Amino acid sequence: MSFKTQRSMDLQISNIQDSNMQTSNTQVPKWWHHSGQSWIDLGSFFPAEQIANQVHWQKLIQGQTNYNYQLTLSEKNYFVQIVNTANLDLLPQRKQNQQPILKHLSNFSSITPWLVECYLNTPSVRAFQWFDTEAYQTAFNQSSFLSTCIEFLTRLHQIEISPELQAQLPVIDIQQHLQRYYRLALNHSSQNSKQIEMLYQHTQQTAQDFVASRLCHNDLSMNNLLWNNTRSRLKVIDWEYACYSDPVMDLAGLLLNLHLNEQQQTGLIKHYSSKLNVDIPPEKLVKMKQLCQNISALWQFCSKKE
């Protein structure tokens, strides 16, 4: 998995004292700057004495809601995500009886070829199978990569879910979602209040055609699409934003994030439409692209940087 790596492991050195640490075999090492609970959870799956050695950890490119690492033990690699609790407000809100989509992905056999195996999944940390990939700059213009992305997206948007399971999954209320981002943006970037206000008003207008009707990933960025060209295989990671949403916005986000030219976009839209036997109104696709861009701009204002 060629996540963009940072070889220097610049973890902050701190003495972590956690009242939950009861046993010596899960003792937090002094270089660990995340929560004690994340260390306890990791120690429940990996040998604590091995993961305590900092040399086994390699920092990867970071997201806003996770700290990402490559963990190497006994010549085997793992992809580890430590949850950044400071930015959990950025994720779609769930009701008390609803669970993250990641808890249910194994139920959806039609998309399992695009998933990496999850070994550990707790509120504070996740550990996955490692997947070797190409550098995304060279992969994203390949026709095989693009067609595989659309194949994945159509399979995802075709999933039929029972009413019982659907009641357990989060559904995005776009107006509430935008209001929450608006409040967070003003909270964290009050010096940009005029720009945020204008952006919020425009975003509300572009959201009028939004209809949450299908299971969507909602974060199909370049870093979340892992492509192995040798095997022509795609893996999709980072499902924290997944929920019931508008599939046209999911498609719009993919088209924007891949930085495709007009001819490539037209080809992918036709491929998607024919696979699902649907017509996508061009005016709605334009609005969903604008909505994606506006949400991303609001997101930048309201995410906490460290």
- The per-residue b/e assignment along 60-82, b for 16 or more CB within 10 angstroms, e otherwise, is bebbbbbbbbbbeeeeeebbbbb
| 47: exposed, middle or buried (Cβ count in 10 Å: 0-12, 13-18, 19+) | exposed
Per-residue pLDDT, 139: 60
Domain 137-230+240-302 has CATH 3.90.1200.10: yes
List the chain residues with pLDDT less than 70.
1-26, 94-98, 134-141, 303-306
Structure confidence by residue, pLDDT tens digits, 182-213:
999 999 899 999 999 999 999 999 999 999 99
Q: Where are the domains of the chain?
A: 5-129, 137-230+240-302
CA torsion 80→84→88→91, rounded to 10°?
A: -40
Q: Is 254 helix (H, G, I), strand (E, B) or coil?
A: helix
Identify the pLDDT of residue 96.
60
pLDDT of residue 158: 96
CA-atom Rg of the chain in angstroms:
20
Q: Torsion over CA of 205, 206, 207 and 210, rounded to 10 degrees? A: 140
- Global pTM reads 0.86
Q: What is the predicted pLDDT for the residue at 138?
A: 57
Residue 78 pLDDT:
97
Q: What does the alpha-carbon distance between residue 23 and residue 93 come to, in Å, rounded to a whole number?
A: 35
